Structure 1
Amino acid sequence: MSSNTSVARIGAAVFAIGFSTTLAMPLFTSYAARDGGGAGGLSAAFVAYAATLIVTAPLLGGLSDRIGRKPCVLAGLVLAGLSTLSLMLAPGLAALAVARVLQGLGIGLVAGGATAWAAELATGPDAARRAARVMAFGTAGSYGAGALSTLAALWLLGDGEPPVTFWLHIAAVALLVPVVARLPDRRPVARVAWLRLPAFPRGTVASSFGMFAAWGVTGVTITSVPSALAAAGHPRLGPLAVCFMILVGTAVQQAIGHLPARRLSLVGLPVLGAGAGLVILGTLGASLPLLLAGGALVGSAAYGFLFVGALAAASEAADGGDRARAAAGVFLVSHAGFCVPPLLTGLAVDAFGAAAALAGFWAGLTALCAGLAAVLLRRRG
């Protein structure tokens, strides 16, 4: 088996695992309405994914070194399949919370191990970079593809549940398990530490908290924005804007990797604030052009400028042995952003209405972005 084929198979497994995390996104508001949970209940079920990653990441980070890459990727595939199965059997907020926990565990298992495995199996010139590119697409590309495929199925085939994409995902996981099981694996290293705490090298706090802001916006866009649009009679506009946000962000991510880290963050912060403002205006006015324009800006900032800038800053500031821990610090802050702002905003929507809650969120976001930009500019001077 060629190295390219092996890397592609690992990339396909990562794609299937990431695909599960957004597969049900167009149905989130239906689950909330069915169970009477409101925006706050939907946000609480949604953030179970990020909360699981925050709690388990220090333990899962070194697991593939101890037991091997293959068992972690296989377990991630099984967990992704079980998450989809749970939503097929009992669609609603409780099943969504269970599915999000399973997805968080699955992503945590493959976050570092799958990329390392692909790099170990790749051969030839620039092998590590090629493997990383495949893994990046398998991760970020799958997030947009999952929601978009289900949205297309609902439009083309009607609102029957479960959508055909759920069945297709289960079938893909069943096919990939034996394919991945036949790949060669490295020998486990028994002396690797179980616990890997994240690190924040000097000078990286501002860029890391740029990701708190970035993923806070994406989390609100995935939860409170669709809830508000569904309440106004537009249940499909929110998922469409989310898909566009992720796909544009993935494209921008591939195009900006060579810019300096600080410049990436300084560009991303105002773009994020402007995009969030357009998304909120588009939500309150049910305007598809504003939602798409805002989603494009948010995606460019969150998945492009700020994400790449934060990871680059952490990598540049850390010593070789601490780069993995520094990257883990970025992901910890990012997933905290994926938890706290969406949950607080969802609760505020239920308590004060969408307009007041989203306006308050945008005010807090712009203040945070301005403060982070000031810190970055001061460090440059």
Structure 2
Amino acid sequence: MPNGPRTATSAVPASPGRRGAGVRPSVGYGAGFWFVAFAFTVLMGFGTAPAALWPLYAAQDGFGATTITVVSAMVAVGAAIGFLGLGHLSDRYGRRRVVLAALTVTLIAALLMTWWQGLVGLLIGRFLNGVGIGLMASTATAYLHDLYARAHEETSRAGLPEVVATGANLGGLALGPLIAGAVVLWTRQPLTVTQFGFAVVLAVCLLLALVTPETVEVSHTARCRPARFALRPGALGLYVSAVGLAFCSYALFGLVTALGAVMLRTEFRVSSAFVAGLAPFLMFSASALAELALAPLSPRRLLTVGTAAFPLGLALVALSVYEARLWLFLAATAVAGAGGGVLFKVCIDRSVRAAAPASRAGVLAVTFVAGYAGLGLPIVVFSVLAHHLGTPVTMICFAAALTGVVAVSSLGRRSPRRASRHPPP
């Protein structure tokens, strides 16, 4: 979900005269930049689109809340494998090849979920979707930086790739459930139409990626170099705090995308798929807007804002569930999403500061694995507890637990001793 790690340590830039092996690209770096941004947006949108569809799957196949949470958690499992085992491969084999692999895997997932809508098909499809996210998030972020730098070698706005990467990532996450909710209103077979529609758009993205120029010329040495995971001396506390912030941010995202529609139906008596998609849309939109609007602030001030907005939003979500007030639930998810997005930005900053310069990509990949663990594990526990304690009480416990972890994680040192005197380049 928020921006994946930028992979760039072992790869070297491609020479101007060479644009990568395979299919010869037919567009320039500037057009390729927007092609990759579009593909990134679509792939992330596909990942959250089922948030508005879970009640329909439940009605069709008799799924309960626990089954839905397990299916949702498969994305986290696939993403963890993608980030840890595959996310660094663009440094070795080129950005375009890994983007093509990510889109191909996700296209297969979309087709599988179109024609096999039973439990096994959903489990496999969501797992493949997670693998695609693990491949795409880090690679696309690095690819956007590379393409923009090549398209604007003389006059460039250094911050634009970060802005576009954030917009593509969180914008896609926000649009996915909203689009799926709209499809439910307009078609009689929303499950098939949504999945096949994304499959068609993913196929278009695959064609666009094929004609996008490569930005990395891979040497034999880079191919054989193993990924390294190393922290700066004295940075363990800083990195542990970053992992805690990642876990909490993604726990919120996972709760709303996996169980938001279920809570709307059971606690608010709202069965509209559009409203079910509206909640995660507001959450991810607020997260993206908060990250972009507050980007000029220092990490310390960002942490202050995040540690205030995140618990406040969680408390309001718990109150809205307890009082069964829909408008408060939607507003609360936006507040909590903004706080979660800001905290995740702080998490990325702390991870970069804690990482040894040559291990930045590997350290960030582990950070994202912790985040996706937060995306999958807490919602399973939430579902089990809600079955015994009820959703309102469980939501209060969930909010209190995440607030406690955020409070402890925010106490981590801002930078290791050595990094404070010699900031990372």
Whether contact under 8 Å (2:141, 2:165) holds in the other structure is yes
Deviation at 1:198, TM superposition (A): 7.2
Residue in structure 1 matching 2:97, options 52, 68, 71: 71
Distance in structure 1 (CA, Å) of the matches to 2:281 and 2:83: 26
Closer, same or farther: CA 136–38 of 1 in aligned 2, 3 Å: same
1:251-330 matches, cutoff 5 A: 251-303=289-341, 305-330=342-367
Whether contact under 8 Å (1:199, 1:325) holds in the other structure is no
Whether contact under 8 Å (1:144, 1:247) holds in the other structure is yes
Whether contact under 8 Å (2:52, 2:277) holds in the other structure is yes
- Is 1:148 the counterpart of 2:185? The answer is no
Q: Which has the higher helix share?
A: 1
Moved more, 281-290 or 43-52: 281-290
1:40-119 matches, cutoff 5 A: 40-119=66-145
- Is 1:209 the counterpart of 2:244? The answer is yes
Output the amino acid matched with 2:262.
S
Whether contact under 8 Å (1:65, 1:189) holds in the other structure is no
Could you state the TM-score of these two structures normalised by the residue count of structure 2?
0.81
Whether contact under 8 Å (2:51, 2:276) holds in the other structure is no
Closer, same or farther: CA 12–361 of 1 in aligned 2, 3 Å: same
Deviation at 1:5, TM superposition (A): 0.8
Distance in structure 1 (CA, Å) of the matches to 2:321 and 2:60: 22
Whether contact under 8 Å (1:42, 1:223) holds in the other structure is yes
What whole-Å deviation, never above 9, does each CA across 1:129-187 have from its counterpart, x for those lacking one?
433332222211111111111112223x1553336443332222222222211222233
Whether contact under 8 Å (2:82, 2:133) holds in the other structure is no
Output the amino acid matched with 1:152.
A
What whole-Å deviation, never above 9, does each CA across 1:180-222 have from its counterpart, x for those lacking one?
1122223334434344547583423223312211211221122
Aligned to 2:55: 29
Percent sequence identity is 24
Closer, same or farther: CA 93–28 of 1 in aligned 2, 3 Å: farther
Closer, same or farther: CA 291–57 of 1 in aligned 2, 3 Å: same
- Is 1:178 the counterpart of 2:207? The answer is yes
Distance in structure 1 (CA, Å) of the matches to 2:220 and 2:137: 20
Distance in structure 1 (CA, Å) of the matches to 2:375 and 2:113: 22
Deviation at 1:73, TM superposition (A): 0.9
Q: Which has the higher contact order (CA 8 A, sep 6+)?
A: 2
Whether contact under 8 Å (2:290, 2:338) holds in the other structure is yes
Output the amino acid matched with 2:359.
D
Distance in structure 2 (CA, Å) of the matches to 1:329 and 1:264: 22
Matched residue of 1:111: which SS? Answer: helix
Output the amino acid matched with 1:166.
Q
Residue in structure 2 matching 1:372, options 393, 398, 409: 409
Distance in structure 1 (CA, Å) of the matches to 2:254 and 2:314: 11
Moved more, 192-201 or 75-84: 192-201
Residue in structure 2 matching 1:39, options 59, 65, 75: 65
How many residue pairs end up in the alignment?
A: 378
Closer, same or farther: CA 38–349 of 1 in aligned 2, 3 Å: farther
Structure 1 stretches lacking a partner, 5+ long: none
Aligned to 1:138: 168
Matched residue of 1:278: which SS? Answer: helix
What whole-Å deviation, never above 9, does each CA across 1:50-85 have from its counterpart, x for those lacking one?
122223422212211222222211121122222222
Closer, same or farther: CA 64–372 of 1 in aligned 2, 3 Å: closer
Could you state the TM-score of these two structures normalised by the residue count of structure 1?
0.90
Aligned to 1:361: 398
Output the amino acid matched with 2:278.
L
Matched residue of 2:190: which SS? Answer: coil
What whole-Å deviation, never above 9, does each CA across 1:5-37 have from its counterpart, x for those lacking one?
110111112122112101222111322343334
Residue in structure 1 matching 2:285, options 235, 247, 251: 247
Distance in structure 2 (CA, Å) of the matches to 1:198 and 1:167: 42
- Is 1:224 the counterpart of 2:253? The answer is no
Aligned to 2:271: 235
Task: Tell me how large the CA RMSD over aligned residues is.
Answer: 2.6
Closer, same or farther: CA 279–341 of 1 in aligned 2, 3 Å: same
Aligned to 1:188: 218
Distance in structure 2 (CA, Å) of the matches to 1:339 and 1:365: 14
